[in-house]
Structure 1
Amino acid sequence: MGNVRTGEIRALTGLRIVAAMWVVLFHFRPLIWEASPRLKDDLAPLFDAGAQGVDLFFILSGFVLAWNYLDRMGSQWSGRATLHFLWLRLSRVWPVYLVTMHIAAAWIIFTLHVGTVPSPDVEKLDAISYARQLFMVQLWYEPFFDGTSWDGPAWSISAEWLAYLLFGGIILVVFRMSRVTRARTLMLLAFAAALPPTVLLLASGHLYTPWSWLPRIVAQFLAGVLACAAVRRLHLGKRAQYAAGFAATLLTAAIVGILYYYDANPVAGMVDPGGVVALLFMPLVVTLSIGIGSLPALLSTRLLVYGGQISFSLYMVHEIVHTSWNWAVQEYQIDLPASVQKLVVVSLIAAAVACAMLLFHAVEEPARRWMRRMVDFRDVQHDVHTGPPAAESNRLASIDQARDARPPRSSARAG
C-alpha cells in the first residue's frame, strides 16, 4: 500500500475486540442461556461457534506481524534481528500471560483452603506444569489443549509462541515469494494455506481432534502472512477500496448466515459444521485491511480500537472471572431468579472488561515499555524527552493516513 510498510491498520485493531468478545460469549453461554432461554433460541448458532475467534486471532497475528516485519526481517537472515523480534513479542504477551497464570494458580490454591469444592484443576498444580507454562510450551506435549493451562485460554498463547519461533524462517521464504509472485497468486496460496483445519473438519466431522491445534496455528498464521504479502503488492484506487469495504460487509454477513444455515440444516456425521466459516476469515482480514466504507470505518472508531488494544488482556482474564463465579455458585448453592441472573451475567462480563482495562494500563503497557527499553535505547530516549511512548503500532505511520495521503487511482492492479 503505497510506500508505507508498517503501522496500525485500525480496522484490524477493532476486529480484535470482536474476536475476543466472540470467545468471551462462547465461554459465558451456559450462564447466558440459563438467564435467558430465549436468547439461546436466537443466538446459539453464533455463540456456539465463538471458539473460532481464536482462529481469527491466528490469522490476524500472521497478517499484522508480516505487515510490520516483512521488509525488516525478510531480505536476509539475522540472528540478532530474530532475537530482537522474539523479545518484542515476549514483551507484548508475557507480562499479562504471567500475571493471569499466577492469578489462576492462586485461585486454585484458594479453593483448596476455602469451602468444600476444590477446583478441578488442583491435580494440574505441579512443578512440571508450572515450568512448562512459565516458558509457554505446555501445549507442545499434548494432543488436546483442554486442561493444559491453569488459565484456560493460555493454550493459544503457547501455540502462538510456537508460531513466533517459526516466524524468522517463514518470513524469509514469504519475502522471496512476494518478489516473484503476483498478488492474486499470493492470495490463492494464502487461501490454500488456510485449508488444512477445514479439511480435517470435513474428514472427521469434529473441530477438535488429536493435535488439531497444530494445523490450526500453523495454517492460519501462515495464511495471514501470505495474505499480507499479497496486500502489500496491491495498488488500489478509491473505487477498489470501497468495493473491498463492501466485500468485508458481505463476508461478515456470509459468516453469520452460514452458521445459522447449518444450525437449521444439520449435516449427518458433522458435529461442528459451522467450522467451515474459518475459510472466510482470511478474505475478511484482507478486505478490512484495504477497504474503506461502513464496516472498516466502524471498526476504526476510537471505542473499538481501544477495545482492540485491551482485547488480549480481556481474552486472558475473562475465564478466571467466569470460573470463579461458577465455583461460588457451586460452593454456596446460589439459585437466583432469571431477572437477577441476567444482571449477574451482564455484571460478570463488565467485570471481565474492567479487569482487562486494569491489566492493560497497569501491566501490559508498562511492562511492554520496560522490556522494550532493555533492547532498544531509542525508546529510553523517547521516554526521557517526550514522555511514555504509545503502543508500537500507534507510534508508526497509520495505513489509514497513508491512504488519505495517496492520490486516488482509477483501478486496482497486482504488482
Structure 2
Amino acid sequence: MNRPEPIPALTGLRIVGAVWVALFHFQSPLFDASNTLRLLEPVLAYGPKGVPLFFLLSGYIIWHNYGSARLLRSKREPVRFFWRRVARLWPVNVLALVLAVPVLWNAVIVHDYWGSAHPDWFSIGGFLGSAMMVQVLGSPYPMAVYPWNAPSWSLSAEMVAYLIFPVILFAALRIKAARLRWLCVPAALALTVVAYLPGFDFPYRWLLDLMLVFVAGVLLRVAGRPTFSPRMMAAVQIVAPVAVVLACYAAQPLLIMPFLALWVWSLAAPTGPVVALMTTKPMQIAGLSSYSLYMLHWVIFGYGYLLTENMVLVGVGRDLFVVGCLAAVAAASYLCWRFFETPARKVLNLAFERAWPGQGKQTASEEILEADAGVGAAAHAAAPVVERVGADA
C-alpha cells in the first residue's frame, strides 16, 4: 500500500485545540494569578471550540489516509480501520479514567458532590460506559451526564464518526470529478456554520453538530490540497487565526468554525510562515502529545486542587500553583505519549494483524510502522524522537 504524503503542519495544529480546551478548564486560577491574563478571557471562553477543531482535523486526516476504494474492497479493511481508531483512543482513555478515581472519590464521598443533573453517574455502570467510550451516547443532552473524566465525553462522538466513515467514503468517492471539487471548500465552510446555528435545540443535536464538522473536514480534503500562490496561502494562514481571535473578542461564535476550517485547509499547503512554525520539532512533539494532554489535563488539574484544597493560596503560592499545574500537564502529556500511548497502540495494532493477517506483501511489523494517519512520518523525518506511528486528530 502506498503511504500517503504526510501533512506535518496539521500535526502541530492539534496542540492548539488541546491547549484551548485545557485553558478553558483552568480559567479561574489563571485569572486569579494575573489580571493581565484576563485579556485572554474572550478567547478562552470559547475553549470548547477546540473539540470541533479536532473533528475537522480528524475528518481531513482520515480521508487523507483512508479516502480510497481500498477500504471498501473487503470485510477486513473497515474492521481494521475501526480497530486502529480504537487503538488510538482507548489506552489513554482508560489510563485517565483510572487516574480520575481518587479525584472523583474525594468530590463525591468527601464533598457530597453527586451532580444535580445526573446523580447516579458515580457508579459501576458509569465507569464502564466511560471505559468503553459510550458514556454520553444514551443521553440526548450530554452535558447532563457527568463522565468520570470530563473531556472524554467527545470520544463517544469520535466513535460514531469512525463507524460512519465508510458510508461517508462511499458517498464522497462519487464527487471526485474535478468539476465538483471546487464546491467542496465552500460546502465545508457552510457545514461549519449550519452545525452551530443558534435557536435550534433538539435531542442529539450535539452529535449531529460534530458529525457535520467531521464531514466538513472530509470535504476540505476531497477538494484537494490548496495550490494557490505561496503569497496567497501565507496570507490565509495568518489571516484565518487572526479572524478567529477577532470573532472571539466580538462575541461572534458563528464565525469561529468557518475560519478554523479555512485555517486547516490553508495549513495543508506545502509552504507558508505558519506551516513553517507548525512543522518545527517542538510543535511536532507538542502535536503528537496533544491527545494525551486533552485526556489528562482535567485529571491533573483535579490533583492540583486536591493537594491544595486545605491551603489558602495567595501571592507567590498561587503563582506556583498555576505554573506547577501547567508544567505537570505538559510533562505528563509528553511522557504519556512517549512511553504509554505509542507502545500501547503498537501492541493493539500488532494484535489485530496477527489475529487477522492481510493478504498483501507487508509483514505485520511493516503494517504497524506504516503511517497510520499520515503526519507521523513527517514528524519522524523532522525529529528522530518522534515515532512513526501515526498522528491523526
TM superposition score normalised by structure 2: 0.85
Over 3 Å counting, the alpha-carbon distance change for 1:379 and 1:139 in structure 2 is farther
Q: Which residue of 2 aligns with 1:70?
A: 67
CA contact (8 A) 2:114 2:122 kept: no
Which whole-Å CA distance do the structure 2 matches of 1:284 and 1:290 have between them?
A: 10
Counterpart secondary structure, 1:392: coil
Q: Which residue of 1 aligns with 2:172?
A: 174
CA contact (8 A) 2:92 2:341 kept: yes
Alignment partner of 1:223 out of 216, 236, 260: 216
Over 3 Å counting, the alpha-carbon distance change for 1:249 and 1:131 in structure 2 is same
Equivalences for residues 324-343 of structure 1 within 5 A: 324-330=303-309, 332=310, 334-343=311-320
Which whole-Å CA distance do the structure 2 matches of 1:19 and 1:128 have between them?
A: 30
Equivalences for residues 175-324 of structure 1 within 5 A: 175-179=173-177, 181-199=179-197, 201=198, 203=199, 211-231=204-224, 236=227, 240-262=229-251, 273-324=252-303
Structure 2 unpaired stretches of 5+ = 355-361, 382-393
Q: Which residue of 2 aligns with 1:33?
A: 31
Q: Which residue of 2 aligns with 1:88?
A: 84
- Give 1:189 deviation, angstroms: 2.1
Which whole-Å CA distance do the structure 1 matches of 2:43 and 2:380 have between them?
A: 30
Alignment partner of 2:324 out of 328, 347, 369: 347
- Give 1:148 deviation, angstroms: 3.6
The one-character-per-residue Cα deviations of 1:46-69 (angstroms, maximum 9, x if unpaired) are 111111011111100000000000
The one-character-per-residue Cα deviations of 1:109-155 (angstroms, maximum 9, x if unpaired) are 36667xx4355468422232233223211111113333341000000
Counterpart secondary structure, 2:6: coil
Which whole-Å CA distance do the structure 1 matches of 2:259 and 2:202 have between them?
A: 21
Asked if 1:60 is matched to 2:57, the reply is yes
Which whole-Å CA distance do the structure 2 matches of 1:324 and 1:396 have between them?
A: 32
Amino acid at match of 1:224: G
CA contact (8 A) 2:237 2:272 kept: no
Counterpart secondary structure, 1:78: coil
Equivalences for residues 87-106 of structure 1 within 5 A: 87-106=83-102
Asked if 1:152 is matched to 2:146, the reply is no
Moved more, 353-362 or 26-35: 353-362
Q: Which residue of 1 aligns with 2:111?
A: 117
- Give 1:259 deviation, angstroms: 1.4
Amino acid at match of 1:315: Y
Query: How many percent of aligned residue pairs carry the same amino acid?
Result: 28
Which whole-Å CA distance do the structure 2 matches of 1:359 and 1:344 have between them?
A: 22
- Give 1:291 deviation, angstroms: 4.8
The one-character-per-residue Cα deviations of 1:272-298 (angstroms, maximum 9, x if unpaired) are x43531121211110111251211110
Counterpart secondary structure, 1:290: coil
Which whole-Å CA distance do the structure 2 matches of 1:118 and 1:379 have between them?
A: 54
Over 3 Å counting, the alpha-carbon distance change for 1:154 and 1:399 in structure 2 is closer
- Give 1:329 deviation, angstroms: 4.2
Counterpart secondary structure, 1:6: coil
Which whole-Å CA distance do the structure 2 matches of 1:344 and 1:187 have between them?
A: 44
Amino acid at match of 1:135: M
Which whole-Å CA distance do the structure 2 matches of 1:357 and 1:400 have between them?
A: 16
Which whole-Å CA distance do the structure 2 matches of 1:328 and 1:211 have between them?
A: 37
Which whole-Å CA distance do the structure 1 matches of 2:278 and 2:9 have between them?
A: 5
Which whole-Å CA distance do the structure 1 matches of 2:300 and 2:99 have between them?
A: 11
Which whole-Å CA distance do the structure 1 matches of 2:221 and 2:343 have between them?
A: 29
Asked if 1:135 is matched to 2:132, the reply is yes
Which whole-Å CA distance do the structure 2 matches of 1:321 and 1:14 have between them?
A: 23
RMSD: 2.8
The one-character-per-residue Cα deviations of 1:201-236 (angstroms, maximum 9, x if unpaired) are 2x26xxx9853321221110000001101025x6x3
The one-character-per-residue Cα deviations of 1:340-398 (angstroms, maximum 9, x if unpaired) are 21221111011011111221122210011111112336564459xxxx94863468765
Which whole-Å CA distance do the structure 2 matches of 1:363 and 1:399 have between them?
A: 18
Structure 1 unpaired stretches of 5+ = 263-272, 402-415
Over 3 Å counting, the alpha-carbon distance change for 1:12 and 1:93 in structure 2 is same
Amino acid at match of 1:67: H
Which whole-Å CA distance do the structure 2 matches of 1:396 and 1:48 have between them?
A: 31
Amino acid at match of 2:51: V
Over 3 Å counting, the alpha-carbon distance change for 1:400 and 1:109 in structure 2 is closer
